[in-house]
Amino acid sequence: MPYEVECGLLFRRNGRLVLTDARGRLLRAIEVEGSLPKAASSVGISCERAKVMVRDIESSAGLRVISNVRGHEGSDGHMLTSAGRELLLEFEAHQQAFEAQVANRFRNPVLAVDGILIVQGSILLVRRGNPPFKGEYALPGGFVECGELVEAAVRRELLEETGLETSVHHLLGIYSSPDRDPRGHTVSVVHVMRKKGGKLRSGDDASDVGFFPLDKLPPLAFDHYKIVQDYVEEGAKASRRDG
C-alpha cells in the first residue's frame, strides 16, 4: 500500500511556535473574508477553535495580529493588523520557498560512484543481482551515502560487492547523461582503483564477480562500456605522451 508524505513549515520565534500551515491558512482567510467566523468556516474549523488559534499566535509572537472593525451595516468584522499582515507575508514567502524545495527535492540528480580495477590486464566486473539490468555485468559501484566522500563511497562499494580492499588511484571522469540510468538522472563519479587486499567474492547486490580481459568484455549495463573505453583511451594517450 503506497504512503502519502506531507511536509509542513513551522514558524518559531524565540523557540515558541508562532505559525503552522493551518494557522497561516486561517490568517489568510481572515484577510480575504474580513470576518473571523467566516474565515473559520472557510478553513473548516469552529469559530471557537479559530479564536484559540489567534490567541496562540498572538501570545507566541508577542503582537496583535487581528483587530475588530465595524462594517457598513453595523456588523462586526475583523482584519489583520499591519504587524499581522507582515507576519503572514513573511510566513508565506518562506512557505513558497519551502514548497519549491520539497517539490524539487526528488528531481535532483542522484550521486553514484563506480570503480575501475585492473589486475594483470583484466578488469573487475560484477553481475548485477537486482534490476535494472539484472543478470548483466557492470563496474562495481553504487550510491553515495549522505555525509560520505565519493572516494570513501567507491572504496566501500568495491569492498561490499567484491570483497576487495582498494585505494583510489585517480579520477577517470564524471558521467552525467540524464538517460544513462532508467531509474532516473544519476550522476556517476568514476575512479580508477588500486588493489590493496581482501579476497574476491560476490556480495551485496552482486550475484557474481570476476576479472575479464579488456578485449573480451561481456555486454555491460548502463554506459559502462563507454566508461571502460574512456579508460582504455586514457591509457593510450598516456602511452603516446610517454613515447
Q: Over the stretch 6-39, which tens digit does the pLDDT of each residue have? A: 778 899 988 899 999 999 999 999 999 999 999 9
pTM of the shown model: 0.60
Mean per-residue pLDDT, 52-70? 91
For the cut 70, the answer to whether the pLDDT of residue 157 exceeds it is: yes
96 vs 65, residue with greater confidence:
65
Mean per-residue pLDDT, 214-231? 96
Confidence of residue 204 (pLDDT cuts 50, 70, 90): low
Instruction: Spell out the residues 6+ positions from residue 23 whose beta carbon is closer than 8 angstroms to its own.
Output: 53, 56, 57
| Superfamily designation of domain 110-242 | Nucleoside Triphosphate Pyrophosphohydrolase (3.90.79.10)
Task: List where CATH 1.10.10.10 sits in the chain.
Answer: 11-105
Sign of the dihedral through C-alpha 159, 163, 168, 172: negative
Q: Between 1.10.760.10, 1.20.140.10, 1.10.10.10, 3.40.50.300, what CATH number should domain 11-105 receive? A: 1.10.10.10
Exposed e or buried b for every residue in 36-55, given b needs 16+ CB within 10 A?
Answer: bebbbebbebeeeebeebbe
Task: List where CATH 3.90.79.10 sits in the chain.
Answer: 110-242
For the cut 90, the answer to whether the pLDDT of residue 75 exceeds it is: no
Residue 200 has φ and ψ, to the nearest 5°, of -65, 125
CA-wise closest residue to 62 among 9, 13, 10: 13
Confidence of residue 70 (pLDDT cuts 50, 70, 90): low
CA dist., res. 91 & res. 182, Å (int): 39
Least confident of 94-98, 138-142, 193-197, 230-234: 94-98
The predicted pLDDT at position 74 comes to: 47
Grid cell digits, residue 49: 477553535
